[in-house]
Amino acid sequence: MPDTTEFKEVVRPHLPWLFGLACRLAGDDAEDVLQDALVKAYRHYDQLRDRQATAAWLRQILVNQVRDRHRHAARHAEEVPVDQDDESTSLYRRLVDEDPLPYSDSLHLDFLSCFTIPDVWAVLDDLPDHYRTPLVLVHMYGVPTREAANALGVPLGTLLSQLHRGRQRFEDALWAYAEKHELLADRQGAL
């Protein structure tokens, strides 16, 4: 087994962002998932050859843990959600068609400016895991699509499809959230 003190020194600086990522991917299970990931990292510490790659290595292990947990949950779910490939209207087109901010000169950009960072997370947190996880990894943490596909154990085409549908679901959810929380009404008053 590796030296515990040395291992702690290596991982400690990464704990804040690892915990953040774990919260985004695993919600209330974040601490458990991260703990499992750290134990696994400790056991396989000898596989880390390049210290410069520590962050990517730890991220890969954490994502593996999240993926295993999601798979386990899916096996025990009564119903596995499967989306059909649809051609839903894009949020941009809906904004142009419905014109919710009639006095805006830059409607689509003003719409997005209604959302705070906590709003964005609230919308994301309501998405199913198989959509939220790719979105978080690729669009929020900047993981390249090939690396994300590898980390999630899916073919690149599957990941790209999940990203595409996930963005559609995210856009739909943004609109619903704005209506529910009357973000547009507040914005109309400001314009």
Which residues sit at the interface with another protein, rule CB under 8 A? 1, 4, 7-8, 12, 15-17, 19-21, 23, 31, 34-35, 38-39, 42, 87, 90-93, 95-96, 108-109, 112, 115, 117, 120-121, 124, 135-136, 138-142, 144-145, 160, 163-164, 167, 171
In the complex, the smallest distance separating the C-beta of residue 50 from another protein, rounded to whole angstroms, is: 22
Which is closer to another protein, CB of 110 or CB of 129?
A: 110
Which is closer to another protein, CB of 31 or CB of 182?
A: 31
In the complex, the smallest distance separating the C-beta of residue 75 from another protein, rounded to whole angstroms, is: 26
Neighbouring CB atoms inside 10 A of 176's CB total 12
Which is closer to another protein, CB of 80 or CB of 117?
A: 117
Instruction: Return d(Cα 45, Cα 31) in angstroms, integer.
Output: 20
Asked whether the beta carbons of 145 and 160 are under 8 A apart, the reply is: yes
The b/e string for 10-48 (b: 16+ C-beta within 10 A; e otherwise) is: bbeebeeebeebbbbbbeebbeebbebbbeebeeebeee
In the complex, the smallest distance separating the C-beta of residue 89 from another protein, rounded to whole angstroms, is: 11
Which is closer to another protein, CB of 13 or CB of 74?
A: 13
Helices marked H in 77-182? 91-98, 107-112, 117-125, 129-135, 145-152, 156-180
In the complex, the smallest distance separating the C-beta of residue 191 from another protein, rounded to whole angstroms, is: 18
Q: DSSP for 67-105?
A: HHHHHHHHHH-S---------PPPHHHHHHHH-SSTT-S
Which is closer to another protein, CB of 9 or CB of 76?
A: 9
Instruction: Return d(Cα 25, Cα 136) in angstroms, integer.
Output: 8
In the complex, the smallest distance separating the C-beta of residue 80 from another protein, rounded to whole angstroms, is: 25
